[in-house]
Structure 1
Amino acid sequence: MAQLALTVGRRWAQTPMALRIAVIYLIARLVTTGFLILAASLSTSLSRFGAGAGLVDFVVGWDAQWYWLVAESGYPTELPLTDAGTVAENQWAFLPVFAFAAKGLGFVLGSWGIGAFVLSFVAGYLACLALHRLLRDRIGSAAALWAVVFFAAGPIAALFQVGYAETLFLLLLFLALEAVARRQYSWLYLLIPVMAFTRPGILAFALFLGLHGLLRWRNRRDDPFRPREIIHILALGALTTLAGFSWQVIAGLATGDMGAYLATELAWRQHWVAGGVAGFVPFEGWIQAAQFWFVQWGLPAWSGLVALVLVVVATALALLRAPQVRALGTDLRLWSASYLLYLLAVFFPQSSTFRLLLPISPLWGAVAVPRSRVWRMSVVALCLSGQWLWIYHIYALGNTFWQVP
């Protein structure tokens, strides 16, 4: 038995990394498929998917329906209104790259749903490859492979198999972070525009580029900061900022209402805020949510604000001081801080928060740094447990406002 284990281990070590990651990814997808099948069997008439739910329903469910609507009908030139006269949910909240890429694949494969599944599935595998490449020079190839295991089997891993834009965005993001790390800035002129029209979050990358540039300027004596690189970072910062605000301008020009995009995004928030939302105020969402959720849980509103402050402080300290996080290098810590600050500024936290944390997936590398086998297997168990709980609540039960993916 020991000899067999040794032989298997030796052959595994000799297997090309792309194939090893493919094996890990496929096993993870089989587990997720099993969870989805179980969730479908537990779905009842009270779920939005009904008692006869199947895997296809899950692939094209929730936000995937909006991407499908974008692909089939485009974007409205007149904003829909609720009975109260406020802007209703509509396609402008969903960026076009994933929707139309899935439509192109669907034209070949037979349907938009099949195209969306294949796009998410393949982009997920490529994102695993890109994540390993991003982490291996920082924490070593073995730890980077464990980070891929945690990523592929993580609590939100169902998104690798449904019609959401997340995996495509993560692939582009990991490639962009790798380009910055290797000072191959020219690639960003291609990646940034596609990222900007895949899913929201590109403004966080603009902040990251600015911080990266400032850090390089500070360290220019030890790490020469050539004029060509300075020009690249300034130009890319401008491009990223322009791309980040362009969708608001496009929505405004198409509808005749320059506040169309923000009003559309706030249409989702009004479900949680009593009396609706008058307008967008940076950082207001988390303050409102901290009070809302703690009152829902039977706790005083002020305790939610205290908890929010503690979470922000603890996160900042972890990014600054935790040795496992520091092992990832400054750029990945800067990206994580930039994206978390972006979320703090624009988002109203609810059940979708877990999905929106996926862009900080490079932090799985910090979880993978400890070499204890017990630790790593415990993390895998927690990942799979969290994945089942997420799938169960989102797909088997998903019928209330706190069960939104």
Structure 2
Amino acid sequence: MAAAGARTARWPWWLQLGGLYLAARLVSACIFMAAALQQGVNPWFPPKPDYWNFINIWDARWYAEVLGNGYPVALPTDDAGNVQENAWAFYPLFPLLGRSLTALTGIAPAASLTVIAMLSGLAAALVIYRLFRHRASQRTALWGAVFVSTFPVSPVLQVPYAESLNLLLLASALLLVVRRRYLWAMPVVLLMCLSRPTGVPFAATVGLLFLYRVYPHLPTLSRGGRPLTAAAGPAGATPPVTGMAAPAVPGAGEHSRGELWSLAGLTAVSGLGALLWPGIAWAVTGDLQAYTKTETVWRGHDLVPFKPWFDTGVQLFGPVLGLVAPFVFVAAFVALLRSRPVVALGAELRLWCVCYLVYLLVFLHPQTSTFRMLLPLFPLALSAAFVSRSRAYRGTVVVMFMLLQLVWVVWLWAWAQLPGGGDYPP
């Protein structure tokens, strides 16, 4: 066993990680198949479905609807004029790629979406490793990518959902930002904005990064011509933690005026990209609020920033503790962001985590799908790997994540009618 492990360690990084990712997906597939054997009566198929039917439920049916029939020109409404659930809530890039693959190969649409999800998930793991290598040693970066691959909601990376495609594009965009390839990041960000609603927090991230880079050097900018020295890192940064490597890009090097203008341009493109899909929905339907009206159908009420967190807190913890719970959650996350392992992620990845969490606090209606929506916080997987180089610790994290996959699939993916009807969505 030790000899086999030593030989495996000599493999190229992409082969090591690719094998580990596929092994993780095989474990998740076994969990899906075991849960399918326990699946009873449901809205989609007879009890005890096979694996392929079992993974093509929930939002996968909506993506298949978009692939086959596109988007409605007019928003569907009930007799009272209330907008009903419809395809505008689901971004177009994933089903468009599925339609193209079906046209090229002739395979079934569900199979096309599954193939794209699987390949995107594998590619995302490889890009995430390259991103993590800018802040960590090879072994620590590999463990961080493995943590992402085995995360409790990682089974979603192999079902016909857009999460794996969005994760690939998000990781690629962050990698290009860390490498200061701001112009190259622009088309990637536009594609990302058409895969899932991550454009708003990404625009906030690069906008704040621009201010962070340019503010200390405004006097130099006003004189013009001279290169600008970028800040070495976040204020109050702590010394490197275990497993951290020297940054692969010059985090304490020089930012030229051209780089700053490119970063400003990326901020503008990201902002426009965030508005792209709501704008398309408006142009097609003629309703300025077509996208937001559709999104809020699943909530059962209009969007009011922050309020759903307090409503859910009261529902879970009572009228007093429930109002305090969101503040406790935010305080805990701030403490996490100030911890040494998270500080070691660097300014770009920390900013992304902050902006994405703020985005969730402002716009998200917290419910069972929230677990899946935490996947874009994947940089925190590297901070988890920074905690200790112990194989026992890192192996325990992987085992714990796989056990929690069981909980996620059995509790949320498998369908079981609630007393009031319906079921909790994954």
State whether structure 2 residue 54 is matched by structure 1 residue 68: no
Alpha-carbon deviation of 1:49? 4.9
Aligned position for 1:274: none
* Structure 1 contact 47–395 (Cα < 8 Å) conserved: no
Aligned to 1:239: 269
- What's the CA shift string for 1:204-260, capped at 9, x where partnerless? 100000111111114555323322122212222111111111222221221121111
Distance of aligned partners of 1:212 and 1:382 in 2 relative to their CA distance in 1, 3 Å threshold: same
**Residues 109, 115 of structure 1: 8 Å contact kept:** no
What's 1:360 paired with?
Answer: 377
Please name the residue that 1:285 is paired with.
308
1:222 corresponds, among 197, 218, 229, to: 229
Whether 1:44 aligns to 2:40 is yes
Alignment of 1:83-102 (within 5 A): 84-102=80-98
Corresponding residue number in structure 1 for 2:148: 151
Aligned pair partner of 2:404 in 369, 386, 402 = 386
CA distance in 2, matches of 1:78, 1:34: 42
Task: State the Cα distance separating 1:281 from its structure 2 match.
Answer: 2.5
Structure 2 partner of 1:33: 29
Is 1:333 the counterpart of 2:367? The answer is no
Q: What CA distance in whole angstroms lies between the structure 1 residues aligned with 2:18 and 2:160?
A: 21
- C-alpha distance in 2, partners of 1:346/1:395? 24
Quick check: 1:59–1:113 contact (8 Å CA) kept in 2? no
TM-score with structure 2 setting the length: 0.87
Residues 1:260 and 2:290 are matched in the alignment: yes
After superposition, the C-alpha distances for 1:20-65 in whole angstroms (9 at most, x for unaligned) are 0111011111111110110110001157654132212233211011
SS at match of 2:161: coil
Q: Deviations over 1:91-135 (max 9, x none)?
A: 010110001101222231511111111101111111110111111
Q: CA deviation at 1:180?
A: 0.6
Distance in 2 (CA, whole Å) between partners of 1:115 and 1:302 is 49
Q: Structure 2 vs 1, CA of residues 287 and 84 (structure 1 numbering), >3 Å: closer, same or farther?
A: farther
Shift in CA distance, 160/398, structure 1 to aligned 2, threshold 3 Å: farther
SS of the aligned residue for 1:253 comes to helix
Give the % identical residues. Answer: 37
Moved more, 132-141 or 280-289: 280-289
Q: TM-score, normalised by structure 1?
A: 0.92
Alignment CA distance shift 1:338-1:398 (3 Å): farther
Amino acid at match of 1:379: V
State the partner residue of 1:22: 18
More helix by share: 1
Q: Is the contact made by 1:106 and 1:115 (CA closer than 8 Å) also made in structure 2? A: yes
Tell me the residue number matched to 2:187.
Answer: 190
Equivalent of 1:202 in 199, 202, 218 = 199
Alignment of 1:105-120 (within 5 A): 105-107=101-103, 108-120=105-117
Structure 2 residue ranges without an equivalent (≥5): 218-227, 231-253
RMSD (Å) for aligned C-alpha atoms: 1.7
Q: Distance in 2 between matches of 1:350 and 1:265?
A: 14
Comparing 93-102 and 374-383, the one that deviates more: 374-383
Q: Choose which of 265, 282, 305 in structure 1 pairs with 2:323.
A: 305
1:134 to 1:206, Cα distance in 2 relative to 1, 3 A: same
> Which amino acid is the alignment partner of residue 230 of structure 1?
L
Are 2:353 and 1:346 aligned? no
Is 1:137 the counterpart of 2:134? The answer is: yes
Structure 1 pair 49/151, CA: closer, same or farther in 2 (3 Å)? farther
Distance (Å, rounded) in 2 between the aligned partners of 1:327 and 1:246: 34
In structure 1, how many angstroms separate the alpha carbons of the residues matched to 2:389 and 2:423? 37
Give structure 1 stretches of 5+ with no counterpart: 271-276
The residue identity in structure 2 corresponding to 1:359 is P
Measure how far apart 1:338 and its partner are: 0.7
Residue of structure 2 in register with 1:251 after alignment: 281
Cα distance in 1 for residues equivalent to 2:362 and 2:210: 22
Residue equivalent to 2:233? none
Q: For 1:109 and 1:131, how far apart are their aligned partners in 2? A: 32
Amino acid at match of 1:76: P
Matched-pair contact (CA < 8 Å) for 1:47–1:398? no
Amino acid at match of 1:165: A
- Structure 2 counterpart of 1:403: 424
Superposed CA deviations along residues 249-289 of structure 1, whole A, max 9, x for unmatched, are 2212211211111110000001xxxxxx2x32222232222
Number of residue equivalences: 388
Partner secondary structure for residue 348 of structure 1: coil
State the distance in 1 between where 2:153 and 2:293 align: 28
Give the partner amino acid of 1:288. Answer: D
Quick check: 1:351–1:402 contact (8 Å CA) kept in 2?
Answer: no
Aligned 8 A contact 1:48 1:399 in 2: no
